[in-house]
Structure 1
């Protein structure tokens, strides 16, 4: 696990805006949050139907948020679990850090993904479900083992690139990122537990596909 705790802001892209903030909670708070979330959440491993067969996703997840932040997936309606105190504290820390950078934000939901090691993964996607709006603001917090999030341009206008996400960091994917890029957490031979929390605002008219997260 990376032990980076220094608060820093790194602009990975200017247009569309992609920004990495480090030292979100500081230590030992970040490591304590990682341990509690790992122990206390009811981690699930739902299945996806592909070509008529059910396949478990290659990670565990929890959908959490306010009661209105529901979604429809694989013919079923999913209601969010209520806010865990540590997740609510992380949400508030994200809003505060972004406000300090002059970026207003609000979040009523979060998708948490638990990756036991580097072999667990997330495929190529954009967080562009209709209920998120046209150009959503997505805030992804990383706790635990450092891994790279791979980005590629939909129009192939530039080379693909990695955004390394250290422990206790926040990756802000600003307006236009989901429209112009895809991202994936590809398998790597890297040890260690990682939990990601992808905060977003789900609009009142939901019923789209399953949200994704890095």
Structure 2
């Protein structure tokens, strides 16, 4: 890899890795995911009202990786072969940096343009455990993921996510920070794959 990874925040660990798949593989898999997945637009309940999500998504993973957020439960689609291969590449890249990880599920989000977005949140659902490790691959248009500290002790900041970059949100990130993908004009297609480990609830 020509570019080193970047440690954005030391504690909790927030790190960006460049060029996970390399070219032309990254662009080829972007085209496959765009055309081969059954993209959905569920309606989620926020502040007592239902709204369509401002993007398309697919929840994918092992058969028992059910996931609940915004008042809805999602059962996973079976692993697409290309996504299963990406999961192995993510695990291998993290292992090469001394980071042990396993993922039984992934949330894929499809943003058709810069107007599609994701609001402020933390990935802190009970199924993920108290301090989850989450790895997110970005494909397509480069966009900044905005972070802010929950206690507002430090300034908010952007993490730019180029095509084929991998963002690692280590233990403590979801507990201490929120993140959002805010609207940006004149941007094209972007697909993110956010890998996580879901634990069955009792």
Q: What's the TM-score once normalised by structure 1's chain length?
A: 0.90
Deviates more, 1:28-37 or 1:50-59: 50-59
From 127, 130, 150, give the equivalent of 2:123: 127
The count of aligned residue pairs is: 202
Q: Give distance in 2, aligned partners of 1:120 and 1:34.
A: 17
What do the CA deviations read for 1:110-135 (whole angstroms, capped 9, x no partner)?
00000001100000000000110110
Asked whether 1:168 is paired with 2:146, we answer: no
CA distance in 2, matches of 1:79, 1:118: 28
TM-score, normalised on structure 2?
A: 0.95
Residue of structure 1 equivalent to 2:180 = 184
* Cα distance in structure 2, aligned partners of 1:52 and 1:24: 40
Match for residue 209 of structure 1?
none
Corresponding position of 1:9: 5
The CA distance in 1 between the partners of 2:167 and 2:109, in whole Å, is: 15
Please report the RMSD computed on the Cα atoms of aligned residues, expressed in angstroms. 1.5
Structure 1 residue runs of 5 or longer lacking an equivalent are 207-214
Asked if the contact 2:122/2:175 (under 8 Å) is kept, the reply is yes
Q: How many angstroms apart in 2 are the aligned matches of 1:177 and 1:74?
A: 20
In structure 1, which of residues 10, 25, 30 is the aligned counterpart of residue 26 of structure 2?
30
Contact 2:134–2:169 (CA under 8 A) maintained in structure 1: yes
| Structure 2 unmatched ranges of 5 or more | none
Match of 1:103 in 2: 99
Are the equivalent residues in 1 in contact too, given 2:135–2:194 (CA < 8 A)?
Answer: yes
The CA distance in 1 between the partners of 2:191 and 2:3, in whole Å, is 20
Q: Write the distance in 2 (CA, Å) between the matches of 1:76 and 1:124.
A: 18
Look up the match of 1:211: none
